[in-house]
Amino acid sequence: IDSGHIYVLRACWNFGREVGGYESDPEDAFGAGDDPTGVLGVFFLADDIYSGEDTNSYGIDGHGTYGQFGWGFEIESRDDDAGPHNTFPGYNGLYNGLSFAGDSTPWMLFGTWQMNEQYGFGIRYENLDNDGPLNSMDPEKGGDNTVLTLGANMYDVGHNGKLGANISLVETGVSGM
């Protein structure tokens, strides 16, 4: 068993929210007011577990609402030695196409629309920028993965009682996979 540490440092700026309202204010458009609200953040992550070396990642992220619309994004810059997170002992080298690769810049964008008090819809696009080795046992390069997710929520008792349905379309970039 490998052991080590992951250190995360994050700073964020809330706008349009009351102090301390980060946990109670909505991240999607359900229950949002008419004024723009949100949070923007920067982060630094140091990891010495997965790659066997010290690895750093940097990024920015944000999410917020404006009326019946919600939005969000995240982008990360990963060091060269940030290997894919599929190299655990006993993994047997199986292909894990949705891993993050080193020397990459994965990113994500999403948007939501609250049609009324009962129904909300969302879309998220992710580019994993993971054209590293297919697995820990195979030096051959794979293709970049992208994921498009469409979703819908039906709210009964706000966030305490909702049904959600999602469909994700995954493009591997590797022929025959």
The structure tokens listed for 154 are 């039906």
Q: Look at residues 144, 139, 141, 140 and name the one whose alpha carbon lies nearest to residue 129.
A: 144
pLDDT at 174: 57
Segment among 38-42, 147-151, 173-177 with least mean pLDDT: 173-177
Q: How far apart are CA 69 and CA 42, in angstroms?
A: 23
Tokens 């199986």 belong to which residue? 94
Over the stretch 61-106, which tens digit does the pLDDT of each residue have?
999 888 899 999 999 988 766 555 444 333 333 345 566 666 778 8
Of 119 and 142, more confident: 119
pLDDT band at residue 110, thresholds of 50, 70 and 90? very high
Q: How far apart are the first and last CA of the chain?
A: 30
Q: How far apart are CA 149 and CA 169, in angstroms?
A: 6
Of 130 and 111, more confident: 111
Over the stretch 22-66, which tens digit does the pLDDT of each residue have?
555 555 677 777 888 888 999 998 877 655 566 788 999 999 888
pLDDT at 43: 92
Residue 135 reports pLDDT greater than 80: no
3-state SS, the chain, equals: CCCCCEEEEEEEEEECCCCCCCCCCCCCCCCCCCCCEEEEEEEEEEECCCCCCCEEEEEEEEEEEECCEEEEEEEEEECCCCCCCCCCCCCCCCCCCCCCCCCCCCEEEEEEEECCCCEEEEEEEEECCCCCEEECCEEEECCCCEEEEEEEEEECECECCEEEEEEEEEECCCCCC
Cα angle: 40, vertex 43, 49; to 5 degrees: 150
Mean pLDDT to the nearest integer, 162-169: 92
Contact 48, 83 (CB under 8 A): no
pLDDT at 81: 62
